[in-house]
Structure 1
């Protein structure tokens, strides 16, 4: 298909989405929007379909594992549905007599969503549910490897739509194996762009001329200090690091362990399945091939990773992940960056202050704005991280992968897309959630004047420095 045909194909898809969205909004109600969101949610959560989507995702992308993708599809969607259950996204959402302002929810229109191969079911489902909840249509552009899963997901959604009499054109995807030209056109003609994954796509989104919500790269670094519950910390890090074979942007990529408890903690890490490698050249020589991550190691089960790294027979048979000691940080030290595998970099710090300095340096190298974590019993230390590290989230005493994107035991919104603020080159520093998929109109009425005197504003200033 040549370039004009490619553009015309995307134009036609978005045109159908606009017509469907206009009709959806015209007959809109909170119940209609809620039912549409529930339809999309049940399409991925129904157990048989969930399993099929998880199996298809692993089969076609070669990333992650089926049991964890089933868990992710279920829990991420269930959590999102909890978050939006009582959200008002239709009609009057605020009526403030004091300010005289009445606020009316309005859809944005057609959402263009670019989604990654790491979560080819859960991420588009999350975006689709949020879009429908707010009265929008959505067009998804999956990565080439994620196309089969996205196609299956949309088929399930459309089957649920048929039960409600909803237009299939409310939820569409860019067909075929995908192309930069098709994605670029979607970026240019949507009303809002949501991008998760490739930082190249993020940059294209922000320069497309269309309002964009894009998220930054992850490279999570977690401190384990001398006050931590070492066994609990090791178990949580192990569970988080190995979940879905480290496909999540919230997976721990490095830990910084205070010297005082270093040996005791690495012993706990070994009990949790982490095999410690003290010669980092054994890992760097095999985890990267010609400057790129070894595809045989990316997001693979432990035994496949171990074989790809040439460690078979060198680590215990029950090893779940590789923990590798290193010291360097920066472009010349690839272990200090994101590894998308069951490989965890381990830094040794003299004390807490040194651990903070190391964590800051790692974040400034890669992953700035995303999130960091700490295992500690000192309630003051998370605040230190929050004021010193360029990060949008400080996760305290939790399994990072499960906590960052929302959990049933913390207050973060359920999401698979983490905004990283200006540190990560993003327009948002929140977890992407339903409020990002809606806009509003304000009716502004006259109220009694509230004009202060100049003295009211400047009296304190004048008392300090004079007029």
Structure 2
């Protein structure tokens, strides 16, 4: 599909949906977050009291259908508004959350029947959830959170990233319209038209908000954790890859290349740095270059560091203008032309800023290590206690077990790109809210519920 065709599709879909793309009113979008909270509170009470679990299932399926139809449009709008990532990969991410986010099917009932009665425990909603979403996965997180949160019986007030507010508003309006057209309550999902920190503060202060959910950087997650509200936090990661000398290097090279270059490395779970045993390092680098990666020299590496990082008093931070940019553009910034590559490789020491600072760019630092033990030691340092994601390529079960125990990450993949850890090409469900800091792990509808126990005493209902 060429550029003009995609723009025409976007225009046509918006016209058919009759959406207010200026986001000034209607379809769940409000001028003031307090109005959004009040509307969601009313909707949630209606959703909980007057709708059955089967209604949730039916409406979620309608959300999947309309989201699937609009995935190419969402991907195009994200790319145009944020300037980050790759269009085709954004379609894949949207489809992953659409197809593989569990709905009500993960809400299970536990029951115990005995001489003293019948006990059941079920997953009940919290009420209204305040959800903070990122610019790296904007519509993906809204769709994922909507399915999970309303599946659990909740309503949601979103505070989206300002850098993706237009596409998020369009996405939310489409989902909102679908909910209402399928018999659901209006304002089950809402947002403030202009997202800001004041809105976040109002969410955390409102007694009508029972749970805060943050997907994004650790600064935001830590702020929510200090708010006094119950919080589910999905924070940053800096996922290391360990490659020992038993690994299948053909597969290792292709999988690291695939994962680290996917959507220009915007996923927090994507491979960010590779630690490889020295005796196989040359071959791994050669095979990654054969996959399409571009290896730069040590001098070019230091040039690139000055372009894509900011330095102050010896401390490095990412230059945000380069986050999620194509590898070819990153190379052009230091005078190298390679339009076909999706990934830049560089060899660096274990304490280099490219290793220790989460980049969110298609730049893969390679660290040579003399021993497997060194690989593990430096990988744990680079992961920085985020406990998010790590991966390993090996045929040695003892090595994989040791690294898994040392790194303690929420997601640990073996002999595959980390994408499989969220069900993209792998088993298991998909989520964009990976709650490592607060321990819920890969969230689903069950994560946004509270357990309630109901007891019928004196052996009632027993037939034995």
Q: TM-score, normalised by structure 2?
A: 0.85
Q: Is residue 131–residue 138 contact of structure 1 (8 Å, CA) maintained in 2?
A: yes
Other-structure match for 1:226 = 245
Other-structure match for 1:4 = none
Is the partner of 1:395 in helix, strand or coil?
strand
How do 1:34-433 residues align onto structure 2 when only pairs under 5 Å count? 34-46=57-69, 49-80=70-101, 83-84=102-103, 86-88=105-107, 93-98=109-114, 100-176=118-194, 178-189=195-206, 190-279=209-298, 280-290=301-311, 291-308=316-333, 310-313=334-337, 318-329=340-351, 333-364=353-384, 368-400=386-418, 402-407=419-424, 409-411=426-428, 413-420=429-436, 426-433=437-444
Q: Distance in 1 between matches of 2:164 and 2:321?
A: 18
Deviations 1:310-359 (A, max 9, x none): 1414xx553321111111427xx354221111101110011211211111
Using the TM superposition, give the Cα deviation of residue 42 of structure 1 relative to its aligned residue in structure 2, in angstroms.
Answer: 2.5
**5+ unaligned residues in a row in structure 2: which ranges?**
1-29, 460-464
Cα distance 1:408–1:265, how it changes in 2: closer, same or farther (>3 A)? closer
Is the partner of 2:187 in helix, strand or coil?
helix
Q: Distance in 2 between matches of 1:162 and 1:55?
A: 26
Deviations 1:7-48 (A, max 9, x none): 9932221111111111111112111111222233233211xx
Is the partner of 1:347 in helix, strand or coil?
strand
Q: Distance in 2 between matches of 1:381 and 1:215?
A: 28
Deviations 1:215-270 (A, max 9, x none): 22110100111111101111111111111111100111100111111111111011
Q: Distance in 2 between matches of 1:293 and 1:414?
A: 28
Q: TM-score, normalised by structure 1?
A: 0.85
Cα distance 1:23–1:193, how it changes in 2: closer, same or farther (>3 A)? same
Q: Supply the RMSD in Å over aligned alpha carbons.
A: 2.1
Is the partner of 1:138 in helix, strand or coil?
strand
Count of residues paired in the alignment: 420
Deviations 1:436-462 (A, max 9, x none): 1112321235689xxxxxxxxxxxxxx
Cα distance 1:292–1:427, how it changes in 2: closer, same or farther (>3 A)? closer
Other-structure match for 2:11 = none
Q: Is residue 440–residue 447 contact of structure 2 (8 Å, CA) maintained in 1?
A: no
Cα distance 1:172–1:265, how it changes in 2: closer, same or farther (>3 A)? same
**5+ unaligned residues in a row in structure 1: which ranges?**
1-6, 421-425, 449-467
Q: Is residue 433–residue 442 contact of structure 2 (8 Å, CA) maintained in 1?
A: yes
- Pick the aligned partner of 1:437 from 430, 444, 448: 448
Q: Distance in 2 between matches of 1:345 and 1:162?
A: 49
* Higher RCO structure (Cα 8 Å, ≥6 apart): 2
Q: Is residue 36–residue 132 contact of structure 1 (8 Å, CA) maintained in 2?
A: no
Other-structure match for 2:17 = none
